[in-house]
Amino acid sequence: MVEQVPAPPSRLEQWRGKPDTSVLIIGGGINGIAVFRELALNGVDVTLVEKKDYCSGASAASSHMIHGGIRYLENGEFRLVQESLIERNRLLKNAPHYVKPLKTVIPIFSFFSGLLSAPFRFLLHRSGKPKERGALLIKLGLMLYDTFGRASGTMPRHRFIGRKKTLQQLPGVNRSVKYSAHYYDAAIENPERLGIDMLLDVLDSCPHARALNYVSAHRFSDGEVVLQDELTAQKLSVRPSLVINTSGPWTDVTNQSLGISTHYMGGTKGSHIVLDNPELLRACDSREVFFENHDGRIVLMYPLLGRVLVGTTDIPVDNPDDVECTEEEVDYFFALVQHVFPNIPLDRSQIVYRYSGVRPLPAAGDVNPGVISRDYRIVEDSLGDIPLLSLVGGKWTTFRAIGEHLADRALGLIGRPRTVSTTSIKIGGGKDFPMTPEDIDRWLARHGTRSPRARELLNRYGTRASEFLDELGDSAETPLTKVLGFSREEIAYLVSREQVMCLADLVLRRTTLGFRGDLGVTGVKELAEVVGAELGWDKSRISREQQSIQIEPGQSTPRGNARVSS
């Protein structure tokens, strides 16, 4: 007879004595965390649940860009571009540990192309395929971009240069280039960690706020939302005064589980690959190369964490749970990269990571994906007497503004005033982040060290590294032998502090180990054992967690290529 092992206690038990909440937020992507932050800082009793891990859905499949969306101007989305640029400038100030200015160059291969088709898309919103944009159209767009981005920003204005100087600055570029446009946007090195930073800011300072990952909204009945712990299947009912649905591409699915049939969403798949290609890294020269195919489809590549990120596609999908970066998409990326840098060899063995996600776009029928609005709206329904707000759309750059707008609607519905604005509140490790070498030395001196390890932690976590260093005290760390740059103590700290429930949470969202392709089979095994020791996993669970991180043997690197499923 097999002995029955009792299920571990559900984390929902801690809420059993307090089932009432003013606002229940369903969906812990970046937008859900943003509205959670807004409401909690304004004193609202708010609860956030996420069916998987925080920022593991659409929020985990971004291009790592904080940008205004220059191409949205062509669709007439001026409000969105202006708001995005204002939010970009705020993030450069409020999250300087992760959001950095990014030099961007657009190689241009024609002068007039797209000039006639663009007004038709703008005025008539036609769904035909976009055309390649020429120098004149790009120039007009960048002039507007400068104008909208001027408020509260210090980014330099764009500039155009001709073929000769372009070839000097980008010696490997396709020699048929005619011009290049140069401007600034911003990149976010680790977007998922920025989401965790905001979450921790709230949970550390707001005792009336509570949040759990791996908890779903199972159903709605008699004024209660039944929550389910996805790891134990145990359930708990909560009684909210207001429900906010921020589950992105799964918005209609979530509403269906609550008993409401909606058809708000119509997302498209965007895939990316990460290349370990030193020659391409040098050719980019610390700049994003932003370019397009002959059909007008935008593609980008830029250096990030010592690798080159290439993306993205825009393919309509029906099921947000069933997407992956296909071999056809890889072929598409390779062809376009070699169109811009024809003499740089590319090989699949250089792919260290690939990922794919679904943009939370509004349903738009049979319309070319490139012209579907990237703006967002808030739709109000009801669950009996309880208001339900659904967020439709939204992008990474505008998460704070989206959270603010959702919170204002929520505050109005529950009759609470706004007392705090987040426009200038620093995020997580961006608080007091040292911006100059002298400031960095002073920060290190305050922690009694100038060691390379302390600098590494500062770069990884911003000033939140202080918390780990203080907890470590005078104790020595135990370096991992198969995962360079990490210690057992650091991993244990992340697991205990940041709601790490599965190995993929650590590999993909609490660190950049998966993104950089820094894990081989032995590294995954070592991490699984450290995490398992912290969470009390048995050997069977440790083995399952190892298998969830799939390592494909590399053809040119002993490290192997990480292809992670969570």
Q: What is the mean pLDDT of residues 91-101?
A: 96
Domain membership flag for residue 72: no
| Shared-domain flag, residues 262 and 272 | no
CATH number of the domain encompassing residue 25 = 3.50.50.60
Give the pLDDT confidence score for residue 122 in this predicted structure. Answer: 38
| Shared-domain flag, residues 147 and 241 | no
**Higher model confidence: residue 391 or residue 126?**
391
**Higher model confidence: residue 437 or residue 553?**
437
Q: Which two structure tokens, joined as six digits, stand for 93? A: 């100030």
| Shared-domain flag, residues 495 and 440 | yes
| Shared-domain flag, residues 284 and 143 | yes
Per-range mean pLDDT, top range of 128-132, 391-395, 445-449: 391-395
Please state, in angstroms and rounded to a whole number, the distance separating the CA atoms of residues 315 and 312: 10
Q: Which of 304, 349, 69, 44 is nearest to 185 (CA)?
A: 69
| Shared-domain flag, residues 273 and 307 | yes
| Shared-domain flag, residues 108 and 226 | no
Give the pLDDT confidence score for residue 296 in this predicted structure. Answer: 64
Domain membership flag for residue 333: yes
Q: Which of 277, 331, 267 is nearest to 299 (CA)?
A: 331
Give the pLDDT confidence score for residue 133 in this predicted structure. Answer: 61
Is the CB of residue 323 less than 8 Å from the CB of residue 355? no
| Shared-domain flag, residues 110 and 197 | no
What range does the domain containing 472 cover? 432-564
Q: What is the mean pLDDT of residues 128-133?
A: 54
| Sequence letter at residue 127 | S
Following DSSP, what letter does each residue of 182-251 receive, concatenated? EEEEEEES-HHHHHHHHHHHHHHH-TTEEEEESEEEEEEETTEEEEEETTT--EEEEEEEEEEE--GGGH
Number of structural domains the chain divides into = 3
Helix (H), strand (E) at residue 354: strand 351-358
**DSSP label at 553?**
P
| Shared-domain flag, residues 295 and 353 | yes
Please state, in angstroms and rounded to a whole number, the distance separating the CA atoms of residues 156 and 153: 9
Q: What is the mean pLDDT of residues 388-394?
A: 96
Please state, in angstroms and rounded to a whole number, the distance separating the CA atoms of residues 45 and 208: 5
- 307 backbone dihedrals φ, ψ, rounded to 5°: -120, 180
Please state, in angstroms and rounded to a whole number, the distance separating the CA atoms of residues 487 and 480: 5
CATH number of the domain encompassing residue 537 = 1.10.8
Tracing tokens 């004595």 back to the chain, one arrives at 17
Quote the radius of gyration of the chain (alpha carbons, Å): 24
Q: Assign 55 a pLDDT band (cuts: 50, 70, 90).
A: very high
Tell me the per-residue pLDDT of 148-203, one tens digit each, with 9 for 90 and over. 777 666 788 889 999 999 999 998 999 999 989 999 999 999 999 999 999 999 99
Domain membership flag for residue 365: no
